[in-house]
Amino acid sequence: MSTVVRATGDWLRSVVAGWNGFWFTPTDPATLSLIRICIGLMLLYTHLVWSLGLQEFFGADAWISSDSLSSEWAWRAAEQDRLGLYHWSLFQWVRSPVALWAIHIASLIIFLLLTLGLWSRAVAILAYLATLNYLHRATGALFGLDQINVMLAMYLMLGPCGARYSLDAVLRRRRNSVDLVNPRVNLLVKPSISANLAIRLIQIHMCVIYFYAGARKLLGSTWWDGTAMWASVGNLEYQTVDLTWLADWPMFGAFLTHLTVWFEISYFALVWPKLTRPIVLALAVLMHLGIAFCMGMITFGLVMLIGNLAFVAPAIVRGCFARNSTAN
Domain range for 111 = 27-191
pTM of the shown model: 0.88
Using DSSP, state whether 290 is helix, strand or coil.
helix
Q: How confident is the model at residue 11 (pLDDT cuts 50, 70, 90)?
A: confident
**141 and 287, same domain (yes or no):** no
Last residue within a domain, chosen from 165, 191, 217:
191
Dist CA 300 CA 251 (whole Å): 27
Cα 302 off chain centre by: 10
Evaluate whether residue 233 is within a structural domain.
yes
**108 and 153, same domain (yes or no):** yes
Single out the residue of 319, 284, 118, 138 nearest to residue 213, CA to CA.
284
**215 and 181, same domain (yes or no):** no
**89 and 123, same domain (yes or no):** yes
Per-residue pLDDT at 63 = 77
Dist CA 318 CA 22 (whole Å): 21
**244 and 154, same domain (yes or no):** no
Per-residue pLDDT at 71 = 58
On average, the pLDDT of the chain sits at 86
**234 and 167, same domain (yes or no):** no
Last residue within a domain, chosen from 191, 217, 234:
191
**172 and 234, same domain (yes or no):** no
Evaluate whether residue 14 is within a structural domain.
no
**144 and 182, same domain (yes or no):** yes
Evaluate whether residue 199 is within a structural domain.
no
Condensed to tens digits (0 to 9), the pLDDT of residues 280-299 reads 999 999 999 988 888 788 89
Q: Is the pLDDT of residue 166 over 70?
A: yes
From residue 94, how far is each of 54, 90, 132, 256 by CA, in Å?
Answer: 12, 7, 16, 47
E-strand stretches of 13-110:
none
**148 and 237, same domain (yes or no):** no
Condensed to tens digits (0 to 9), the pLDDT of residues 66-109 reads 666 665 555 454 444 444 455 778 888 888 889 999 999 999 99
Number of domains present in the structure of the chain: 2
Dist CA 222 CA 212 (whole Å): 17
Per-residue pLDDT at 324 = 65
Q: What is the mean pLDDT of residues 176-180?
A: 57
Dist CA 292 CA 278 (whole Å): 21
Last residue within a domain, chosen from 151, 169, 191:
191
**185 and 209, same domain (yes or no):** no
**184 and 53, same domain (yes or no):** yes
Measure CA of the first residue to CA of the last residue in the chain; give whole Å: 66
**60 and 166, same domain (yes or no):** yes
Condensed to tens digits (0 to 9), the pLDDT of residues 229-267 reads 888 777 777 667 777 787 788 898 899 999 999 999 999
Condensed to tens digits (0 to 9), the pLDDT of residues 140-158 reads 777 889 999 999 999 999 9
